[in-house]
Amino acid sequence: MSEFTVHIEDTSIELDTSSVQSLDLHQIASDQFHVLKDNKAFDIQLHDMNVLNKTATISVNGNRYDLRIDDVYDRMVEKMGLLANTVQKVTSIRAPMPGLILDVLIKAGDEIKEGTPLLVLSAMKMENVILAEGEGVIKSVEVKKDDAVDKGQLIIEME
């Protein structure tokens, strides 16, 4: 069984760690890559990435694609039927990965809704915009611009 499933429009591609590691991949810039696969060259540009939702928008040789990546745990949750539409009140937002806070886009007292940009986190040479996963009011912002954060560190408290 594959470790990842990449969904691109109506197509799904199964990948495992060894197939990804076998790619001849060269990073040209923070958001640009050159890949050789089966004697074919691909120029890839990363336009947007949401680590929490496991989504990305990329261009491959100038063609733009929206991706969604499922891992073993996503498939397990789906198989167990745990994807029921339930509403969960979020009381805290934690850093999805270690990185550096480049910008804080909200402040205490702000009312937010799902999809509201909260902050910009630089990690692995990429800028990630952290978005709200639900509605609420910001109780406190525990980080400021130029703070280094660890994975799982509290960054925002919600009311």
pLDDT band at 72 (very low <50, low <70, confident <90, very high): confident
- The CATH architecture that domain 92-158 belongs to is Beta Barrel (2.40)
pLDDT above 90: percentage of residues in the chain = 43
Ordered by start, the domain boundaries in the chain are 4-75, 92-158
**Exposed, middle or buried by CB within 10 Å (0-12, 13-18, 19+), for 21?**
exposed
**pTM listed for this prediction:** 0.48
Handedness of CA 65, 45, 124, 150 (dihedral sign): negative
- State the pLDDT confidence band at 62, using cuts at 50, 70 and 90: very high
Q: Please indicate whether residue 119 or residue 38 has the higher confidence score (pLDDT).
A: 119
